[in-house]
Chain A
Amino acid sequence: MADPVTKHPTLIEGARASRTSIALKFLMAVSGLVFVGFVLGHMYGNLKAFAGHDAFNEYAHHLRELGEPMLPHEGFLWIMRVGLLVALVVHVWAAVALWRRAQKARPIKYVVKKHTGAIPASRLMRTGGLTILIFLVWHLINFTIGKVNVQGGETDDPYNLLVDTFDVWWMTLIYLAAMAMLGAHLHHGVWSACQTLGITGTAQSRARAKTLSLALAIVIAGGFSLVPIAVLAGIID
């Protein structure tokens, strides 16, 4: 094994697949896809708002009971929360690591730089990710942890909290802006995850991944936006 003659010559000793920048990318992709799964489910729940007060609250309540009696009360929810938190930490950590690598890789910027070949969303990933992160904090304060009702109304009725929130135009605006960012993030992110996972080895599969990416971005960003718009428009009240 350790025969020095047949040893494969290489410059850096002991390179490990797990320590490469690509491994970081795997983490990004997997955690990102966890989010995609989550937001799809979340969106489905949100859309229940169109079915009316009771159906929506029933759903919110049901989430807490999911898996009982195998799981304790709110068990599923906590598994979800912990899973998402881990994914978030991993995703953000890897994003920051890659970001810093990129900064270091080009310390001197171009005087003139065009971005031929890039879709705008691809260059928005970092600021977009940050925006989503800030929004997420606000969103959790708003609906989950803090339960802040900006209209001062009741907070322990999820449906009412939702309606009260989006009745305020600027709350809807913040929400919609965040969804636009999310859409952009997914427009590039889903394709990027496919590429990172190495499933886009041909021109066709690449085209397919791009379509999927765009479709998911529209469905998710659009799906989330329907509820607040409907509230503001008075369709849901």
Chain B
Amino acid sequence: MTDGMNLTLNIWRQTGPDDKGSIHSYQVEGISSDMSFLEMLDVLNEQLNARGEEPIAFDSDCREGICGMCSLMINGEAHGPEVTTTCQLHMRSFKDGDTITIEPWRASAFPVIKDLVVDRGALDRIIQSGGYISANTGSAPEANSVPVPRDKAMRAFNVATCIGCGACVAACPNGSASLFVGAKITHLGELPQGQPERYSRVVDMVGQHDHEGFGGCTNIGECAAACPKEIPLDVISQLNKDLRTALKQGH
């Protein structure tokens, strides 16, 4: 591995929720371009462990771009320079001698737990407040009794691919979670099964969103650019439209 890359890493370290935290600088050597970004951090962590320094805490689980656990701000971009998740970013996107700054998602609704790990429970609570279709187990009608037009089903699927990673919030200059909320509103709102609760859902979810301390959307578009699943800005338009209808219907 003599021909690998040498990199300078500026990494946010914070011992716990109450610590102030700061950027620390580390050197890594011999990084192969076939490594994933997180494997590069694994290498650094092994080095830290060997010299008695506590390894850097960061989240990851599936490491195949689907669970939404990984969450790093890399050189000022959520999930780094490619349109993918942090775990699917590979070192061939960098070059020898680069300096890489790694920070946690920043939002008051995502408090830092340690180093690069944040608490995204706020997104779960938004779902709890209405991001579902009420259908008790056992009460479902035969699946084919309600046809769903194919284009609607496709759109619902496309936006249902959101992995709840929070990159949209991290990227948004307003710290808004509108892309996330819009994706769920659009997913459920496109389906016939989602109609009965459609307008109470949007009000409850947006209410929870605001309550969690996320910012208001000003349609800047950095969220969609950062989204690893390429959720389009249309969903925010849909969200606004549904809220407008809810307003009219007196919700």
Contact = CB atoms under 8 A, between A and B. Distances in A.
Q: Do A and B truly interact?
A: yes
Interface stretch (B45-53, B69-77, B90-98, B140-148): B69-77
Contact of A117 (B129, B204, B211, B225): B225
A107 B175 CA distance: 10
Interface string B222-251: 111110000011101111111110110001
Nearest to B128: A11
Interface stretch (B26-34, B35-43, B103-111): B103-111
A112 B9 CA distance: 13
A12 B126 CA distance: 10
Contacts of B12: 111
Interface string A22-38: 11111000000000000
Contacts of B84: none
Given A15-B203, A116-B225, A98 B216 contact: yes
B200 A105 contact: no
B221 interface: yes
Contacts of A102: 173-176, 215-216, 218
A200 interface: yes
Contacts of B156: none
Interface residues of A, number: 53
Given A112-B75, A198-B238, A22 B243 contact: yes
Contact of A198 (B206, B221, B225, B237): B237
A24 B206 CA distance: 12
Contacts, number: 190
B213 interface: yes
B237 A101 contact: no
A172 interface: no
Contact of B129 (A10, A110, A203): A10
Given A17-B203, A24-B216, A105-B213, 11 more contacts: A12-B129, A16-B207, A21-B215, A22-B216, A101-B216, A108-B106, A110-B73, A112-B76, A116-B222, A198-B241, A201-B238
30 contacts: A8-B130, A10-B128, A11-B204, A12-B129, A12-B204, A12-B208, A15-B206, A16-B251, A20-B203, A21-B176, A21-B216, A23-B247, A24-B216, A26-B240, A104-B215, A105-B175, A106-B107, A106-B174, A110-B106, A111-B23, A115-B222, A116-B77, A118-B220, A119-B221, A125-B218, A195-B237, A197-B240, A198-B237, A198-B243, A200-B237
Interface of B: 10, 12, 23, 73, 75-77, 101, 103, 106-109, 125, 128-130, 134, 171, 173-176, 197, 200, 202-204, 206-211, 213-226, 232-234, 236-244, 246-247, 251
